[in-house]
Amino acid sequence: MPRLLSAGRTFSGRSALTVKRDVLTYWHSNQQDLGLSLRQFLSCCRKSGDGLTVTFLGGAGATPAGVYGAARSVSAR
């Protein structure tokens, strides 16, 4: 059974792009242990108003409507 890592983990940086990279790197490095698809993982994240901080709330009981509105907007534009 997968275990959730670091519920409440916070990512912050100097730019929104840096934070997004850190969030995606964390998911990629821990996706086996998290047991969440990228869409599920992002739905368990919340972004601050300025976009410089993202908090992973954990998978259990988190509500949808996550950090980037779903995996579709994660790609660089």
Measured distance CA(3)–CA(13) in Å, rounded: 27
Write the burial class of residue 24 (CB in 10 Å: 0-12 exposed, 13-18 middle, 19+ buried). middle
> What's the pTM value of the predicted model, to 2 decimals?
0.67
- Could you state, in order of their start, the residue ranges of all structural domains in the chain? 9-73
pLDDT at position 50, please? 92
**What single DSSP character describes residue 53?**
E
pLDDT at position 56, please? 95
Tens digit of pLDDT for each residue in 4-15? 454 679 999 999
